[in-house]
């Protein structure tokens, strides 16, 4: 039986490329969607030669929400799995000074991903099958002074994915929420990250593939982050206000 493709939204990112390679290695054709998609030609060729699957490139701008309906309609095949890796951390200090920078972070982490997943959800629902994967962040579990603009957008996206999963649960469509902690990527380059809490993109990709296969609802990665964020969420507010974490 011919496999339907896996669509990677934000395929130019480190995690996006790792996810694409992972699914391609499992024998899935892959659709790579990103801004300046032509820059992924080398990755396309590598995956085709290495894994023997079809790989297509698709121009995609998460913030151009008015194009999302046409983007999905023009795909050569409606995917069986869509993984949204779109995101932008930005700099908290800049976000506090420049509302335009803050809005870009919020739109990149919530509005754009929610828009494209809504379009895909409607198509998957009409077909009666499929899996949607949204990569949110543990940063959305509680607003913290060091990254609350980014965290607030991720909190919204996490809530969106939860509601979408609830809506589609009886429609044959599954929704997976992925909550990574620190991941060693270009986005976190230069940050002093604790090695034992920091994952590699390939580890996250493996976890996503397992979550799709096992029809998991919510996964933390690394799993220790579930406990860490449980503790942080339960710090009393009077104490929390005195902390900077």
Catalytic residues: 150
Q: Whole-angstrom Cα distance, residue 62 to residue 74?
A: 16
Q: What interhelical angle do 14-25 and 41-51 show, nearest 10?
A: 20
How far apart (Å, rounded) are the C-alpha atoms in residues 112 and 136?
A: 13
Burial of 20 by CB count in 10 Å (0-12 exposed, 13-18 middle, 19+ buried)? buried
CA atoms within 13 A on the CB side of 24: 25
CA distance 211 to 60: 25
């Amino acid at each position: 039986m011919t496999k339907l493709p896996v669509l990677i939204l934000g395929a130019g990112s480190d995690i996006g490329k790792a996810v694409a390679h992972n699914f391609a290695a499992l024998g899935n054709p892959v659709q790579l969607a990103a801004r300046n998609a032509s820059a992924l030609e080398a990755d396309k060729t590598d995956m085709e030669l290495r894994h023997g699957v079809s790989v297509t490139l698709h121009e995609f701008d998460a913030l151009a929400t008015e194009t999302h309906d046409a983007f999905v309609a023009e795909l050569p095949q409606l995917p069986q799995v869509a993984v949204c890796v779109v995101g932008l951390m930005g700099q908290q200090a800049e976000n506090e000074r420049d509302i335009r920078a803050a809005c870009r972070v919020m739109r990149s982490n919530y509005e754009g991903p929610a828009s494209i997943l809504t379009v895909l959800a409607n198509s998957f629902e009409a077909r009666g099958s499929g899996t949607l994967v949204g990569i949110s962040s543990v940063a959305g579990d509680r607003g913290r002074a060091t990254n609350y603009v980014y965290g607030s957008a991720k909190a919204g996206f996490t809530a969106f994915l939860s509601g979408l999963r609830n809506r589609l649960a009886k429609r044959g469509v599954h929704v997976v929420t992925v909550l990574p902690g620190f991941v060693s990527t270009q986005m976190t380059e230069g940050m002093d990250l604790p090695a034992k809490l920091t994952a590699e993109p390939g580890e996250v990709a493996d976890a996503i593939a397992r979550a799709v296969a096992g029809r998991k609802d919510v996964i933390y990665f690394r799993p220790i982050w579930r406990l860490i964020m449980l503790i942080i969420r339960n710090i009393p507010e009077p104490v929390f206000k005195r902390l900077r974490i």
